[in-house]
Amino acid sequence: MKRNLLLILAIFGMTFIYWSCEKEPQTCTDSNASRVIDLTSISFYETTTGGPIYTPLDKFDSKKWDNVVLSVGTLTELIAKKVTTNDAVYAELPPKCKWSLDSIRITRSGKDITELFTLNGIEMSEAFRNPITEMCGLMLYPKSQAANDKLDLYKVETYDQMNGKLEVVSDYFKIIK
C-alpha cells in the first residue's frame, strides 16, 4: 500500500513539474543583465606558465613584467531580473554585463603608458576598433617596455557613453625587467 501511494505521489509530482516548467514569455531580452557603474580597485596578480592561475600580489611588491597582470575590479548594478515561478527547476545563466567601453588610459607618475599594455592579449590600438560591450572587468597585461625600476602608482581611466570617465588608482607596485 505504501509503495503504491509513493508511486502515485511521484507521478503527480513529475506531472506538476512538467506542467509548471513550460517556457514563460520573457519581458527582457537579457534576464539577468548588469551594467558597470564604477571602478573599484586595481589588483596585481602573478601568472604561472602552466595555465591561467593567478596568485594575488601584495602592495609594495615587485615582479617581472611577463608574470604580472593588472586586474581592474568593477562595481555593477542589476538592470533586469526575470521573474519566474519555476527557478528551482531550471538553472539560471550567470549575469551578462553591459558596458560600452570606448577607451582606456593607463598612467604612471602622470605619464601615459597605455600602449605599454594589452587588454586581454589584444593591442590597445586594436582593442577599440569595434565596440566592447560584454565585459565586467579588465585584465591588463604589461609589455616588456612597461618595466620600471621604482615603486609607482598606476592609474586606470575608462571612458564609456553611460558613465563618462571612471578612474581608479592602485597601490604602489614595481614591474621589473
Q: In this structure, is residue 21 part of a structural domain?
A: no
Could you give the number of structural domains in the chain?
1
- Give the pLDDT score at 31: 57
- Which segments of 21-143 does DSSP mark as H helices, in order? 124-127
Helix (H) or strand (E) holding 65: none
The dihedral region occupied by 29, where left means phi > 0, alpha psi between -120 and 50, and beta the remainder, is alpha
- Give the pLDDT score at 111: 92
Bridging pattern class, strands 96-98 and 138-142: unpaired
- Give the pLDDT score at 95: 60
- Give the pLDDT score at 46: 87
pTM for the model stands at 0.70
Low-confidence residues of the chain: pLDDT under 70? 19-32, 49-52, 80-95, 131-134
Q: In this structure, is residue 34 part of a structural domain?
A: yes
Q: Residue 112 sits in which domain range? A: 28-176
- Give the pLDDT score at 107: 94
CATH of the domain at 153: 2.60.40
Q: Cell 560600452: give the residue.
A: 100
Q: In this structure, is residue 91 part of a structural domain?
A: yes
Q: In this structure, is residue 13 part of a structural domain?
A: no
pLDDT tens, residue by residue, 112-144: 999 999 987 788 878 777 766 667 788 898 988
C-alpha cell at 127: 582593442
Q: In this structure, is residue 59 part of a structural domain?
A: yes
Q: In this structure, is residue 167 part of a structural domain?
A: yes
